A and B are shown apart, each in its own frame.
Chain A
Amino acid sequence: MFKGIVLTIIAVWFTLIVNAQTASTGMEEETNIYEKIFDAPLHLSGEQQMTFTALYQQKPILVALIFTRCSGICSPFLLELKDNLQQTDDKSFNILVISFDPRDNLEDMNNMAQKFGLENDPQWIFAVTDSIEQLNQSIGFYPIWDNETGQFDHDALLVGVNIEGYITKKLIGIRKKHDLDLLISSVNNVFSPTYRLPNKNSLFSCFNYDPKTGKNTPGLGLLFIALPAVLTVLMLVSISYFVRNKSQRMDRPYSE
């Protein structure tokens, strides 16, 4: 029973940590999956015009929805995204940063690109569109205008779009690198037959899926599966050591 108590203490401690880290709801991320994104005409920096279709046919895209006058989540969200992507150095996709605020024009977007030092990075595309409503609708993104603050009340949203224009995965909120890797593998059409619900704690999970390699790495829970076998071997060796040493000391055969 002592073992049980110790395990419980460890377990409770772990749970508290894990619960503190997971904040996402999960449910909203499941909307509009495998639906086509709206083919909005885009105004890109350098006076370029392009349709969404033309863009995703080149490479899969991660769409980040922001507005430049945001005093809240947009800047930290982009910064985190930039940091995480710099670590991966994966060029298999483009990132489209698009404004959902009708007040934003191309100049605002160019300024923003400069602020983050991304104006010369070919992987990052900053754009505005005249079809904000339809685009939001196709993604399932609903920012609410707040007159008092003069701001949009909205989630930080990152949407994965594969080269066929289907939404493969959505991430809401500022997320860990692991989740971003899952999004990247989804736009590249890597199928994993399962995923974990984000709002459940992952204490003692047996495996952790690594989207970059497409493999599962052992989790803490796997120890518990191996534990009985390991204990058995230890027990076998120690019993054998104990009884055989004793029999030598007593110098008397046991077969009688």
Chain B
Amino acid sequence: MESIKLRKITSVWILAVFVLFIVSIVLGILMRLNQGEIIKQNSVTFYTNMTTHGLTMIGIWFVAGMAAINYLMERYVKTSYTANMIALVLTVIGVLMFWATTFIGKFHAGWTFLYPLPFKVMWATWATPLFLVSLTVLGLGWLIWSISLMTQILRKYSISQAFAWQHFKKNPSVETPPFILISMITLVGVIACLLAAVVLIVLFFAEFFSNGSFVNDALLMKNLTYFFGHTIANEMLYLGLAVIYELFSEVSGTPKWKTTWYVAVAWNCTLIFILTAFFHHLYMDFVQPEGFQIIGQLASYLASLPAAGVTVFSVLIAVYRTKIKWSLTNLLFFIGVAGWVIGGLGAVIDATISNNVVLHNTLWVPAHFHTYNAMGNVLFSIAFFYWFSTQFTENNIKSEKLTMATLTILLIGGIGFLLAFYVGGADSVPRRYSTYPAEFTSAAPLAVIGAIFATIYLIAILIFFFNISKRCLKVLSSPS
């Protein structure tokens, strides 16, 4: 099946993701502590950390999802080790460049770098161009990787097979495995949003090199920013779902999931909804035509139908009154799906224009996306990491009690940390404030609570890290 080379590079991805994750969590806790007035950082340090935290998190969970589907895809098609390696090298270079812009250059335009903020230089002058170059490097690496994976799928499956269109009819002659279908749908979305980033960066550079003779339209740039930003944040979660479709039944010891007509229809619909839902980031920009605002709300609503009706429902059916071999892997999958659902509820509420008026850019926004990342996507990926690491080493988790204790710590930490965000959001506390004006009396105490629970969450992550990284290092040091 898969080569030892693939095994090793996947281990490298896992170790890199874990280390960067822990650093980013620490940055996040520092931010909450500063908002809680427990520590005192100046605002530039805070916003620099915020920028680093945001883009690093997006980057690592995207590559974690990609590494996972690359590894599993080897079961169906031959994947390119070179593309995987190029992505790894460019990601490392890109991250180092990006960290130089923030930690050395003090670049702090936020990970969304909303035009024209990067051009209002409040940091080292070289930081803006280097930031754009670092994005280009990351984007290039990821684009090569995604296109390579898509190409390998298309070698074996025709376009209609890859999208499982033959399943729309009864009794299809060829079966498209669900993993291939979801990977394909997600890769197409990933490529589209990376291309949006390319257009965005070209427009940025055009203005940068034109010496003021060319000025971009702020509305166009904002649309492109969220086409890229929203979509990639969303797609990385779907990469995790592809892994669930492949592994959930396998580790549970139940029959493998099959592509049916409704799975095919649901995922094809998802592709369309996911590429139009980003309009909900511009609700408060009245300059966007109302038609697009309404498309944003409807697409955000409709995206929940295939997700809830097909994926979530299938997971529930697979578990309901069924004898299952529970392990850390499928427990994490199961909890992650629950976290995804709850984050989705928060998202649908916020994607309602009349609610967005009082929720937009309050803590409600980080509340919902941290829910389906920290309690959803992260768990999907860690489940894969754990499953992967136990493939080549003996499963030496001796006590089920330790597993349960770790999960309990994870849940307590996660729920407490997220509740502080939700309550703050409902209390109109703004997001992205380094310190809070005196009017927001609940904001600082909530930030302290958030920091405490985030630290508890971090403990659970550290336990996973030691457990999994030990085995990944063994994979790396094994003879090739």
The answer to whether A and B touch directly, with their CB atoms under 8 angstroms apart, is yes
List chain A positions with a Cβ less than 8 A from chain B: 3-4, 7-8, 11-12, 15-16, 193-194, 196, 200-207, 215-216, 221, 224-225, 227-229, 231-232, 235-237, 239-240, 243-244, 247, 254-256
- Main SS class of interface, A: helix
Q: Which of B198-231 contact A (CB under 8 A)?
A: 198-199, 202-203, 205-206, 209-210, 213-217, 219-220, 223-224, 227
A194 CA to B287 CA in the complex, in Å? 5
Please determine whether B214 and A224 come into contact, CB atoms closer than 8 angstroms: no
Residues from chain B with Cβ under 8 Å of A227 in the complex:
195, 199
Please determine whether A229 and B214 come into contact, CB atoms closer than 8 angstroms: no
Please determine whether B196 and A4 come into contact, CB atoms closer than 8 angstroms: no
What are some 27 contacts across the A-B interface (CB < 8 A)? A7-B202, A8-B209, A193-B287, A193-B290, A194-B286, A194-B287, A200-B215, A202-B217, A204-B203, A205-B217, A206-B219, A225-B227, A227-B195, A227-B199, A228-B192, A228-B193, A231-B195, A235-B147, A236-B150, A236-B154, A239-B147, A240-B154, A243-B154, A244-B154, A244-B158, A255-B77, A255-B156
Closest to B276 in A: A229
Question: B78 at interface (Cβ–Cβ under 8 A)?
Answer: yes
Please determine whether A12 and B210 come into contact, CB atoms closer than 8 angstroms: yes
Q: Give, as a whole number of angstroms, the nearest-CB distance from A204 to chain B.
A: 5
Partner of A216, one of B77, B205, B291: B291
Closest to A253 in B: B156
Q: Which 4 A-B pairs have the closest CB atoms?
A: A228-B195, A193-B286, A221-B220, A216-B289
Which among A202, A229, A235, A247 has the highest number of chain B CB atoms within 10 Å? A229
A3 CA to B202 CA in the complex, in Å? 8
A228 CA to B288 CA in the complex, in Å? 19
A11 CA to B199 CA in the complex, in Å? 14
**A8/B210 contact (C-beta < 8 A), A205-B220, A225-B227, A232-B195 known:** yes
List chain B positions with a Cβ less than 8 A from chain A: 77-78, 147, 150-151, 154-156, 158-159, 188, 191-193, 195-196, 198-199, 202-203, 205-206, 209-210, 213-217, 219-220, 223-224, 227, 275, 286-291
Q: Give, as a whole number of angstroms, the nearest-CB distance from B189 to chain A.
A: 8
Q: Give, as a whole number of angstroms, the nearest-CB distance from A8 to chain B.
A: 5
4 further A-B pairs in the complex, CB-CB below 8 A; given A205-B219, A207-B289, A239-B154: A203-B217, A207-B219, A231-B195, A247-B155
Q: Give, as a whole number of angstroms, the nearest-CB distance from A16 to chain B.
A: 8
Please determine whether A239 and B286 come into contact, CB atoms closer than 8 angstroms: no
Residues from chain B with Cβ under 8 Å of A204 in the complex:
203, 216-217, 220
Residues from chain B with Cβ under 8 Å of A7 in the complex:
202-203, 206
Please determine whether A224 and B224 come into contact, CB atoms closer than 8 angstroms: yes
